[in-house]
Amino acid sequence: MDKKVFLKDTGYTQSRELSWLKFNQRVLAEANDKSVPLFERLKFLAIFSGNLDEFYMIRVGSLFDLSLLKEVNIDNKTGDTPEQQLKKVFKACPPLYKTKDKTYAALERMLTRQKISRVGFKDITGDEKKLLDRYFKTQIAPILSPQIIDAHHPFPHLENKTLSIAVMMKSKDKILYGFIPVPRLLPKIFYLSEDPLTYILTEDIIARYAESLFDMYTVVEKAIVCVTRNADISPDDETYEVDNDFRQHIQKILKKRARLSPVRLELSCEISDSFSEFLQGKLNLKSEQVFVTASPLNMSYVYQLEGKLPEAVKAGLLYPPHKPLAPPTVNLSAPIWRQVAKKDLLLSYPYDSMQPLLSFIKQSAFDPAVVSIKITLYRIDNKSRLAEYLIDAAENGKDVTVLMELRARFDEQNNINWAQRLEEAGCRVIYGVEGYKVHAKLCLVTRLSNDRLQYITQVGTGNYNEKTARLYTDYSLMTADEDIADDANLFFKNMLSGNVKGHYERLLVAPSEFKSGIMALIDREIVKAEAGGNGRILMKINSISDRDIIDKLSEASRAGVVVEMIVRGICCIVPGIKGKTENISIISIVGRFLEHARVYCFGEYGVDMTMYIASSDVMTRNTERRVEAACPVLDGEVKKRIYDMLMVQLADNVKARRLKPGKKYAAIPSEPDERLDSQAFFIRQTPEDTLQ
């Protein structure tokens, strides 16, 4: 499509970056939701903070890179240059910091009433001060490396997202600066008491004793600081020799990422103009890239604190425990392949357990009839049982092929470690396809019994990760359908040969056919609507930014197709615009579990609906620059189960927020006795009565 078309103001698109910030604002809203247990609210605040860190590392870092190019890059949703996009981001962030600080202060006050207190030095007693003095002198001071900045000591490299104490000092009439990096190996928290639970953060301790570390000078100002660096390195954009080991190349990229340019500076308190100008000058940052926040600069300590919560109040501070269960139709003690051969099996995480899939891989590792296992791995647990079963399979003589994507951002090192272990066990490990990340979730197990090949194919919307399967909502489909197995076989054959342009009969595989397949299915509904029929589209996705598909959905709306969408995060299409998107409605659900499943439905349920589950969102990176897989749902009962779950989510009026034509999200009003929280609904149901 001509770029000039993209630049025309259509009135129904919005900024990807600002849309993402609105998503994170909905995460922040969970920290302010009084119906959420108190400590869970603090965790939502930590999630908000971590999300914002990644946003600056990736999206802001990427925009800075684009702004340096000679060629002008224009955003195809807004018509903005990278500089204009950055300006809007920097304007949108200060209110978020202000809300975050206000929320944190309120949560701290409420936790104090529950006898859980983070304290400062002004709050501690004489005995506690002696305890801290001893702790600092014996456990902290010996491993600190305070550094003065002068002609012989250059400005240090401040590592990405690590804390330091920045100090401004006087020596006679001379102003000097110094830094005290907070060692990563130190515990994040020091507990003064466990009943009541009283604690202090390590960076606060070091800041308190900063004067003793620079006792030759007079400390004038000090602040805890944290630099966020651009982490948007794409290994495909880096040159490397074909003969080089790709694992070694990725490890070099990881080292380079740690030294990329700063994109943000966070401070624990206001500092003087001269101090700020010094830091900005050394880090090459503008004032709009500097943020002062009263809440901790690194909130990952919250997850450690959870394990120390007093038992007497713990239950009231956290969500009730949720234990995923295997569906009642699955017999874990019997061969899973035999059960799937009779009927397709759907697992809906985290309501269903991942155990049936793990049992299937484990059984396959020791099944004499199994000849091969082929699987894609993108993000896996660092203690992955599934990977251990693949190792068992290889050691038992099975032909095991693992397509390990080393470029899964921030999981690169974990994937490198597993790739080495899998190779050592005898697995054939390949590292994706040059120029494309392999994001598809696909597994194929082949059996040879009575001279006949039997196949079980598993396709998922989420990763093969036991940890996230308890936290993310995802679908995992296991089927014995031979046409799907033929496509899966072809998929792995193509990946081994580096072919991303293959044709498939059942699967929609990006970058070759996923986008065109979705566009064709939208066209099908347009034709129906224009002929006087009931065109309908239903999507549940994480993000939508692909301009071609956005324009096609607008065309569908203008033709009278009813389009309903559940979009958790980035949403660059604006619904409800008269004459453009008035037949499109969009909600976002943010709650206890991360909504991660992708489902694409075209047509009316019970009449002519075509349904796919997929690894792909509607983003250009997914549709054009990644290898993705969408699988048709052919079993009637599985299709009904997924459709019913979508209907419950569309009826959610507790956690759902509706996107309005004005680009804002609004709560959905309801009477108290009509309230429906879809995530809570699914937890309440037993496996036997869910959606029956």
Task: Give the residue-averaged pLDDT of 308-318.
Answer: 93
Handedness of CA 232, 45, 109, 321 (dihedral sign): negative
**Rounded to 5 degrees, what are φ and ψ at 556?**
-65, -45
User: What single string gives the DSSP state of each residue in 574-618?
Assistant: PP--TTTTTTEEEEEE-SSSEE--EEEEES-TTTT-EEEEES--B
pLDDT of residue 689: 45
Digit-coded pLDDT (tens) for 338-387 = 999 999 999 999 999 999 999 999 999 999 999 999 999 999 999 999 99
Q: Could you tell me which residues come within 8 angstroms of residue 569 by beta carbon, excluding any fewer than 6 positions away? A: 19, 20, 23, 542, 543, 588
Task: Give the residue-averaged pLDDT of 160-180.
Answer: 94
Cβ count within 10 A of residue 168: 20
Residue 41 has pLDDT above 70, yes or no: yes
Name the one residue in this structure whose structure tokens are 């620079």: 214
Residue 21 has pLDDT above 80, yes or no: yes
pLDDT of residue 255: 58
- Global pTM reads 0.93
Smallest CA-to-CA distance from 471 within 349, 641, 328 is with 349
Helix (H) or strand (E) holding 111: helix 82-113
User: pLDDT band for position 248 (50/70/90)?
Assistant: low
Task: Give the residue-averaged pLDDT of 633-658.
Answer: 97
All CATH 3.30.870.10 domain ranges of the chain, comma separated, are: 336-497, 508-684
Query: pLDDT above 70 covers what percent of the chain?
Result: 93
Rounded to 10 degrees, what is the CA torsion of 664, 667, 668, 674?
170
Distance between CA atoms of 489 and 457, rounded to whole angstroms? 9
Class of domain 508-684: alpha beta
Catalytic, 439? Answer yes
Q: Could you tell me which residues come within 8 angstroms of residue 152 by beta carbon, excluding any fewer than 6 positions away? A: none
Q: Quick check: helix, strand or coil at residue 681?
A: helix
Distance between CA atoms of 457 and 507, rounded to whole angstroms? 12
Distance between CA atoms of 121 and 204, rounded to whole angstroms? 9
pLDDT of residue 15: 96
Residue 199 has pLDDT above 70, yes or no: yes
Q: Are 462 and 349 in contact (CB under 8 A)?
A: yes
Residue 461 has pLDDT above 80, yes or no: yes
Smallest CA-to-CA distance from 536 within 514, 565, 516 is with 565
The one catalytic residue among 153, 157, 322, 439 = 439
pLDDT of residue 190: 96
User: pLDDT band for position 241 (50/70/90)?
Assistant: very low
CATH of domain 142-238+257-301: 3.30.1840.10
pLDDT of residue 437: 92
pLDDT of residue 601: 98
Terminal CA-to-CA distance of the chain, rounded, Å? 46
What is the architecture of the domain spanning 1-114?
A: Up-down Bundle (1.20)
Handedness of CA 561, 656, 620, 601 (dihedral sign): negative
User: pLDDT band for position 69 (50/70/90)?
Assistant: confident
pLDDT of residue 106: 98
The pair of three-digit structure tokens given for residue 182, joined into one six-digit string: 């907070």
Query: pLDDT above 90 covers what percent of the chain?
Result: 83
Residue 237 has pLDDT above 50, yes or no: no
Q: Are 176 and 155 in contact (CB under 8 A)?
A: no
Residue 260 has pLDDT above 90, yes or no: no
All CATH 1.20.58.310 domain ranges of the chain, comma separated, are: 1-114
Cβ count within 10 A of residue 636: 10
pLDDT of residue 73: 87
The pair of three-digit structure tokens given for residue 392, joined into one six-digit string: 């068992």
What is the architecture of the domain spanning 336-497?
A: 2-Layer Sandwich (3.30)
